[in-house]
Structure 1
Amino acid sequence: MGHLDHAALGWLTPALSYAMACTGAALGLRCTVRALAATGRARRNWLLTAASAIGTGIWTMHFVAMLGFRVHGTDIRYDVPLTLTSLLVAMIVVCAGVFAVGYGRDRGRALLLGGLTTGLGVASMHYLGMAAVRLHGDVSYDPTRVGLSVLIAVAAATAALWAALHISSPLAVTFASLIMGAAVSSMHYTGMFAVSVRVTPSGEALPGATAMQFVFPLAVGLGSYLFLTAAFVALSPTAGEREASASAQRPVGSTAG
């Protein structure tokens, strides 16, 4: 069996990937809170931003963590189309989950449906990302650990959506996103510990791109997107602030119609 190393670069990749997961979650929760206070097109746009933030955060977390993944005795390459598909899956399912909560009439049912959809989506993103790995040998999975990682993903997603519905203070959002980041990271590493590789050494060149050629630049790009969106969200006025500035600009004595 090939010896697997999940943190070949030391604590850097787990710490950085956890930070990415937390940033995506915090931004997603903040946008969902804003969406629930808005209506019409504004609500839809906030929900789309929330979904893209959570999806990006989860995907970036996975692949930043994968930068530290090594298998002794073989190089690792990534199938580019499959890796991009995993990003698309993350975006689409998180979007479905967030919209289920944002527009659901019955909060409880919307939460269960959204949590299940998003959790299964996060898990499928993880295993699609793993399926994109090319190496000399055979990869197998421990079904119990795979099942456990899917359960963690569903629980984490449901908890995050519940937080988005019930939490609005910035401190509580920060706390919830730290827990969400920990849940996403534990789902990732549970999924990774389900992996075993039987290496068959070979001199043949592997198909696909190396992590540094492809995964790293993409993760940096998505990380920058998260950072810029966070700045935009932080600076845009809330509904309450808009209301206050509108009333401050009204001439004294006139009543709002």
Structure 2
Amino acid sequence: MQGTIDGFGYGMVTPLVGYVMACLGSALGLRCTVRSLASGRARKPGWLALGAASIGCGIWTMHFIAMLGFRVSETAISYDGPLTFLSLLVAVLVVGAGVFTVGYRGARPVPLLTAGLFTGLGVAGMHYLGMAAMRMNGSLTYAPGVVALSVLIAVVAATAALWAAVSVRGLLASLGASVIMGIAVTGMHYTGMAAVGVRVAHDAHAAVGDGSSALDVLPLLVGPLIFLVLAAAVVMLDPMLIMGDDEPAGRPGRRLDIGDIRVSLNADNNWGVTGAAQSRER
């Protein structure tokens, strides 16, 4: 028997809240990656890891907030805890692989496309792994063509996100990119959900409205939500990002020559004084 699916059990609340979380994770990830480009070798991995975890948690949180509104009228839904947690690890690890690739190799075509393909397939894998964690009195079916479209959207979105992470400069530009990334992530999720059908077992007898999975999903969301809040605090309190000094390290510094004294400001905002024979600002 074919189940009756409602993907918007709470109206537009879950799509909008999920979208906001995707934007938040994307914005934090972009800013952390930008910060890594202006950091020394010792601190760069830490910023990249924080950015990857932020994007991964944002995507995963978006998925399961959206799933709060997913119901099947003929059966209740629950989630397998270990498999659900595994989907979170997959999201963070595949995004991390992509972020570290572009963080160290830049946005050259081959590294970017390779990282985007791997990350996009991983994000799609996270989505369908999270779907596989659902437990109900029935089984899921998928429309192959729509699944392929959702995977394509994930790959394009991941590639665009990784490009933006190392190419976008300035707070407003990063926020604009995160809004677009949030749309792409949310679009990928609901495209994937459009491919879903449920074949309910003949002995299913749950009453209409009993399909809510909120009590199973909400505890799983607490950890990633706390992490995103802490990551936001780290980003907001970082002096360089507050000042908007987000250009990568190694950019030409300013230099002021006064008589025999040369004063220079390097990429790390450290002043140096050396001898000089010029008396003009360069």
Match of 1:193 in 2: 194
| Residue segments in structure 1 that go unaligned for 5+ positions in a row | 248-253
Contact 1:74/1:201 (<8 A) preserved: no
Q: 1:220 aligns with which of 209, 219, 222?
A: 222
Scaled by the length of structure 2, what TM-score is found?
A: 0.82
Tell me by how many angstroms 1:38 deviates.
1.7
- CA distance, structure 1, for counterparts of residue 10 and residue 274 of structure 2: 61
Q: Secondary structure of 2:199's match?
A: strand
The Cα shift of 1:217 comes to: 2.0
1:143-180 per-residue CA deviation (whole Å, 9 max, x = no partner) reads 00000000000000001111112111111101100000
Given that 2:17 and 2:65 are in contact with CA atoms closer than 8 Å, whether structure 1 keeps it comes out as yes
Displacement after TM superposition at 1:203 (Å): 6.0
Structure 2 spans left out of the alignment, 5+ residues? 207-211, 247-266, 276-282
Q: CA RMSD in A?
A: 2.2
Deviation at 1:182, TM superposition (A): 0.5
Work out the CA distance in 1 between the residues paired with 2:166 and 2:106.
13
* Per-residue Cα deviation, 1:7-62 (whole angstroms, up to 9, x for no partner): 10111100000000000000001111111222312110000001000000000000
Structure 2 SS opposite 1:255: strand
For residue 235 of structure 1, what is the aligned residue in structure 2?
237
- TM-score of the aligned structures, taking structure 1 as reference length: 0.90
Q: Whose radius of gyration is greater, 1 or 2? A: 2
**Higher strand content, 1 or 2:** 2
1:255 aligns to 2:273 (yes or no): yes
Aligned length: 246
Who is 1:250 aligned against?
none
CA distance in 1, matches of 2:201, 2:163: 46
Q: Give the aligned partner of residue 161 of structure 1.
A: 162
Between the aligned partners of 1:162 and 1:175, the Cα distance in structure 2 is: 14
Q: Which residue of 1 aligns with 2:121?
A: 120
Counterpart residue identity of residue 236, structure 2: A
Report SS of the residue matched to 1:8. Answer: coil
Would the aligned equivalents of 1:97 and 1:115 in 2 still touch at CA under 8 Å? yes
Deviations 1:217-237 (A, max 9, x none): 221331221122112111112
Q: Counterparts in 2 of 1:167-182, with a 5 A limit?
A: 167-182=168-183
- The structure that is helix-richer by fraction is 1
